[in-house]
Amino acid sequence: MSKRATILVSFIGLIGIMIGASCSSSPSPTPVLGTDPVPPPLEITSTNTPLPSPTSTFTRTPVPACPWIAYFYDSESITSPGTDECLGGSKGIRVSENLKQISFFVNRSSSLGTYGVCRNISGENDLKFNVTIKNGMVSARFLVMVAPDPVPTKKSSFGFRIQPQVMENNETGMWVKWIEYASDDFENDKGGLQSPIDWKFNDDWNFDFSFQFSGSQATMSMNKKALSREWPLSSSTRYLCFAYQQIPTANNAAELEAQVNFP
**232-240: average pLDDT:** 92
Helix (H) or strand (E) holding 16: helix 3-23
The lowest-confidence range among 15-24, 78-87, 162-171, 177-186 is 15-24
Whole-angstrom Cα distance, residue 36 to residue 34?
A: 7
- Mapping DSSP to helix (H, G, I), strand (E, B) and coil, where does residue 11 land? helix
Give which of 80, 81, 106, 83 is closest to 93, Cα–Cα: 106
Span 21-74, pLDDT tens digits: 444 444 445 444 444 555 555 454 545 555 555 444 444 445 557 899 888 887
Q: How many helices (H) and strands (E) does the chain have?
A: 1, 16
* Mean pLDDT (whole number) for 111-118: 92
Query: Residue range 197-205: average pLDDT?
Result: 93
Q: How confident is the model at residue 77 (pLDDT cuts 50, 70, 90)?
A: low
Strand partners, 211: 127, 220
**Of the candidate ranges 63-72, 117-126, 193-202, 235-244, the one whose mean pLDDT is the lowest:** 63-72
pTM comes to 0.73
Residue 75 DSSP one-character state: S
CB contact set of 89 (below 8 Å; sequence gap of 6+): none
- Write the single-letter amino acid at 58: F
Alpha carbon 98 to its chain centroid, in Å, reads 11
Total residue length of the chain: 263
230, 190 contact by CB (below 8 A): no
> In the predicted model, is pLDDT for residue 5 greater than 90?
no
Q: Are 242 and 117 in contact (CB under 8 A)?
A: yes
CATH fold of 69-261 = Jelly Rolls (2.60.120)
Mean pLDDT of 211-226: 94
Q: Which of 100, 146, 124 is nearest to 260 (CA)?
A: 100
Name the residue ranges covered by the structural domains of the chain.
Answer: 69-261
What is the C-alpha separation between 73 and 211, in angstroms, rounded?
A: 26
pLDDT tier for residue 115 given thresholds of 50, 70 and 90: very high
pLDDT at 167: 74
Q: Which long-range contacts (CB under 8 A, 24 or more apart) does 188-195 make?
A: 190/229, 192/161, 192/227, 193/226, 193/227, 194/165, 194/167
